Structure 1
Amino acid sequence: MAEAPVCDFGWKAPAFTLPGVDGRDHALADVKGPNGVLVAFICNHCPYVKAIADRLARDSSDLAGLGVSTVAICANDATTHPEDSFDNMKRFAEAHCFGFPYLHDESQQVAKAWGAVCTPDFFGLNAALELQYRGRLDSSGSRAASPDARRELFEAMRQVAETGAGPRDQTPAIGCSIKWKAA
C-alpha cells in the first residue's frame, strides 16, 4: 500500500499528450473543462481502483455538469502486470462505463513528472491548471463504499469549480504503488 502526499496548492500541472483507449491522442489542454480537470492515475488490477471505478464514473459525470472534466491515466508496467495492458484498459473502461478519456502512459514519463505514487492518485486542478485537491475519492479504501459515504472528491472539485480553490482539509489517497519499470 502507498499513500499520496498532501496537496501542494498552486502546483502547476505539466502538459502531456497520451493515447487513449478510444484510439485518439489526448492533451491536457484539450481535456480541461472550463472550471478545471480531475486527473486520476489508476490501473486495472488494483483492488483500490476496482472498489471505486464505478463511483469515479458517477462522480466524473456529475462533475462534467459543473464544468470540470475528468481524465484517467494508467502508467503501470504491463510487462510485470499484464492486467494493466492497453487492451485490458479498453475492457476496463467499457466495463465501468467511463465517460472520460482513459490514457496510457507507457513510458511512465507523465506519472513521474506529476509525482504520482499510487493507484488511485487524484489531482484536482482549477481552470488555471493549478493543483487544488490531492485527496481520496471517499473513505472506502479497497472496500465497497457504505451508502452514506461522503463524496469527498466530488465535494472538493465542486468547490474548485465554484471558487477556483480546493478545501484545506484533505485526506490523502491510498492504494497500490505505481508499478515502475525496471531501470
Structure 2
Amino acid sequence: MARTPSNMIPLGTIAPDFNLFDTVSKQVLSLQNLKGKNATVIMFICNHCPFVIHVNLEIVSIANAYADKGVSFIGISSNDVFNYPQDSPEKMAMHAMEQNYPFPYLYDETQDVAKAYDAACTPDIYVFDAELKLNYRGQIDDSRPGNGLPVTGKDLRHALNCLLENKENILLQKPSIGCNIKWKN
C-alpha cells in the first residue's frame, strides 16, 4: 500500500467549480447545485483503496449525522479506470449502493477536478464554509489500516462542529494518508 499524504492547500482557498457525472443518479451535477447551506465536504475517494474502505462506515455515519445541519457531502473518484477498472462508473454506482452512501458519488473522468483541488490521495477531505472557502483539509482521524486505532472521525467532526458553531479550529490539521490518486499516463 502506497502511503501518500494530502497536499495541504491554503485555508481560505475558494472551492473550484465543477460539473461531474453522478454514477448513482446518472445526471451531471454541479458544485453550485450540491453545496450545503452551512458547509460542503468534498471527499476524493475510490472503491478499492484500503484506506477508504477502512473509513467508509464512518464517512457514511458523519454524512448522515450532519445532513440536517446544512452540511452537504460529495464523493468524487478521479482514478484512471483504464488501469483500475474496479473504479469504473458502473462499479462506483454499485459501491455507493452497497455502502449506503447518502451523498452523490461523482466520476472525474478527465481528472481535471482532482488537479484543480490539488488532491493527492484517497481519502482526501476538504471542508468548505457557506461561501465555499476552505476551512479544513486533511484526515478524518488518526486511524489507518493496521495501526490499531479506532475509526472515530474526530478530526472531521471537530472541524465541522467548529465551523457550524462559528469557532476557530485551533487543532493541528493533519494531512490525510492514503493511496495515491491513479493518474492517467
Q: Do both share a fold (TM > 0.5)?
A: yes
Residues in 2 aligned to 1:54 and 1:82: alpha-carbon distance in whole angstroms: 23
Q: Secondary structure at the match of 2:81?
A: coil
2:180 to 159, 177, 180: 177
Q: 2:5 is matched with which residue?
A: 3
Q: Secondary structure at the match of 1:56?
A: helix
Q: 1:108 is matched with which residue?
A: 111
- Judged with a 3 Å threshold, the aligned counterparts in structure 2 of structure 1 residues 98 and 153 are, in CA distance, closer, same or farther, namely same
Aligned residues: 182
- Judged with a 3 Å threshold, the aligned counterparts in structure 2 of structure 1 residues 112 and 39 are, in CA distance, closer, same or farther, namely same
Residues in 2 aligned to 1:179 and 1:84: alpha-carbon distance in whole angstroms: 10
1:153 counterpart = 2:169: no
8 A Cα contact 2:58 2:151, kept in partner: no
- Deviation digits for residues 143-164 of structure 1, max 9, x if unmatched? 4975584621112112112217
Residues in 2 aligned to 1:143 and 1:125: alpha-carbon distance in whole angstroms: 30
Residues in 2 aligned to 1:135 and 1:76: alpha-carbon distance in whole angstroms: 19
Q: 1:79 is matched with which residue?
A: 82
Extract unaligned runs of 5+ from structure 1. none
Extract unaligned runs of 5+ from structure 2. none
8 A Cα contact 1:159 1:167, kept in partner: no
2:18 to 16, 21, 35: 16
8 A Cα contact 2:12 2:133, kept in partner: yes
Bigger mean CA deviation after superposition, 34-43 or 148-157: 148-157
TM-score by length of 1: 0.93
Q: Secondary structure at the match of 1:51?
A: helix
Q: Secondary structure at the match of 2:135?
A: strand
Q: 1:137 is matched with which residue?
A: 140
The Cα of 1:111 is off from its aligned counterpart by 0.5
8 A Cα contact 1:51 1:144, kept in partner: no
Q: How does 1:40-59 map to 2 (within 5 A)?
A: 40-59=43-62
The Cα of 1:26 is off from its aligned counterpart by 1.2
Aligned residues: CA RMSD: 1.8
The percent identity for this pair of structures is 36
The Cα of 1:179 is off from its aligned counterpart by 0.3
- Deviation digits for residues 66-111 of structure 1, max 9, x if unmatched? 2111000000001111111111101111111000000000010111
Q: Secondary structure at the match of 1:134?
A: strand
TM-score by length of 2: 0.92
Residues in 1 aligned to 2:6 and 2:151: alpha-carbon distance in whole angstroms: 24
Q: Secondary structure at the match of 1:18?
A: strand
8 A Cα contact 1:35 1:68, kept in partner: yes
- Deviation digits for residues 124-159 of structure 1, max 9, x if unmatched? 000010111112111112249755846211121121
Residues in 2 aligned to 1:128 and 1:160: alpha-carbon distance in whole angstroms: 12
Flag as ranges the 4+ runs of structure 1 deviating above 3 A.
143-150, 164-168
